[in-house]
Structure 1
Amino acid sequence: MGTGMGSGSDPSNLKRIQHRESPLVDVEVAGRERESQKCRVSNYCAASLHNFVAEEWEREKNDANGSSQKWEHVLSRAFTRADDALEDGIVAPRTVGSTALVVIVSACQIIVSNCGDCRAVLCRGNAILSLTRDHKPNRSDEVERIKNGGGRIIFFQGERVEGMLAVTRSIGDHYLKQWVTSNA
């Protein structure tokens, strides 16, 4: 999972942001659909991930000062909780997964976190700033992480983890979970 944080001061300002289902944070979740029954994992993430972020923020907010490291922990735990909830195969088969993107915007900062190849970009005028990096098997750091875990990158219609998955991080895809994680 990649996490970034824009400049700003106090993350408690996030309380002013409203979401239909969470008064704490404004979270946008995007899922890239793959394989049969692929929408189930994306829909689960869209319905649940913002709640996990809000719950993890409540746990963390009294412990530190709002640093980017604090947000990394919150978002990592939220992505892990979403991933863990799918492990039993009830929501979708263990061979199905989704990528995800969380964007939290307050008056003083932008916090983004992605899993897989979902992207966040910031555009102003003609300037474009990438806020995330894709988790793909053509990135040397991702290749090293997978190989260190005993996995392989196999070329089959492009680089793929074990010749099957075109992203190196996802929520779900538990059949490859030894190498494909939902967080950093």
Structure 2
Amino acid sequence: MTGREILHKMKVKAGFGSSTSNTGKGKTKMYGKRISHGYHLVKGQTFHAMEDYVVAQFKHARDSELGLFAIFDGHLGHDVPDYLQSHLFDTILKQQPNFLTDTDGAIRKAYEITDSMILNKANKLGKGGSTAVTAILIDGLKLVVANVGDSRAVLCKDGLAKQLSVDHEPNKERKCIEMKGGFVSNLPGDVPRVDGQLAVARAFGDRSLKVHLSSVPDVKDVIIDDKTEFLVLASDGLWKVMSNQEVVDAIRDIEEPQVAAKHLTEEALKRKSKDDISCIVVKFQ
């Protein structure tokens, strides 16, 4: 067995998914709640390698039990999302001593530190970048979601979809981009792009665009109560073809989260999504 194969097996066991591991699941109990997760990834109809990576795992840290979930959707290469998969949560948990007392601030600082590290390693990681949506479940009671870009987090509560993340579209942040000296293109037949290149206004990496591009995340906290049913994290390959409520309605009656995640990716393919599609479903019941 090669070193790469050994590393791949270790990542799968730890709850990491990539282009070579397209499905997985796990479960735990937190404060009497049965919590389970499943994920599924499908490569899009593109000529480049799979650029989506996921994290889905439970772990003990600082006297708390945590659920760590993330989707990293890369562009112009897979090195940046691969780096995020291996480093972002470690930066949050190990380098931020105030994580439990100021979770939002710790996450924002960790995003800043991680982006700086990626930019400093541009010679090795390349000129590409990645969007990110992360969700940290603390003791089964509090959920903290952060994101840059257009990967999305949606919560199902009492059958209704609630978006927890913010889609960072260039048109929405045009003023900020222009104040930094950049511009947003709006060519016929194309989506708005920062400096005519990137279709999101916030991302990790992208050294050539960073002067006009933000990596500051939006962060939102929610309490997990008895009416909270499940959480869906997914890359834009899903959201381009399904609304938040359509996603919730499609899997509400599917008990197994891994089956639910796979069902969503298959439905996105039926609806002619051509992008990479990655999806995590976390069930709280």
TM-score calculated relative to the size of structure 1: 0.76
**Distance across 2 between alignment mates of 1:60 and 1:124:** 26
Unaligned runs of 5+ in 2: 1-30, 32-55, 218-285
CA 1:90–1:29: 2 relative to 1, 3 Å = farther
Q: State yes or no: 1:97 paired with 2:137.
A: no
The Cα of 1:149 is off from its aligned counterpart by: 1.4
Q: Is the 8 A contact 2:170 2:201 kept in 1?
A: yes
Q: Of the two structures, which has the highest relative contact order with CA contacts closer than 8 Å and spacing of 6 or more?
A: 1
Provide, for residues 108-167 of structure 1, a one-character-per-residue CA deviation record: whole Å limited to 9, x for no partner: 21110001111000014531000011111121xx11211121211112421000000001
Unaligned runs of 5+ in 1: 1-12
- Equivalent residue for 1:147, pick from 175, 178, 186: 178
CA 1:57–1:108: 2 relative to 1, 3 Å = farther
| 3-state DSSP of counterpart to 1:167 | coil
The Cα of 1:60 is off from its aligned counterpart by: 5.0
Match of 1:175 in 2: 208
| 3-state DSSP of counterpart to 1:26 | strand
Match of 1:23 in 2: 61
Match of 1:87 in 2: 119
What is the aligned-residue identity percentage?
A: 26
CA 1:85–1:109: 2 relative to 1, 3 Å = same
Q: Is the 8 A contact 1:22 1:50 kept in 2?
A: no
| 3-state DSSP of counterpart to 1:105 | strand
The Cα of 1:71 is off from its aligned counterpart by: 2.7
TM-score calculated relative to the size of structure 2: 0.50
The Cα of 1:56 is off from its aligned counterpart by: 4.2
**Distance across 1 between alignment mates of 2:59 and 2:206:** 27
Match of 2:151 in 1: 118
Q: Is the 8 A contact 2:96 2:110 kept in 1?
A: no
Provide, for residues 63-113 of structure 1, a one-character-per-residue CA deviation record: whole Å limited to 9, x for no partner: xxx4xxx333211111111111111314421x2000111101123211100
Q: Which amino acid is the alignment partner of residue 68 of structure 2? A: V
Greater per-residue strand proportion = 2
**Distance across 1 between alignment mates of 2:119 and 2:144:** 27
Match of 2:22 in 1: none
Aligned length: 157
| 3-state DSSP of counterpart to 2:69 | coil
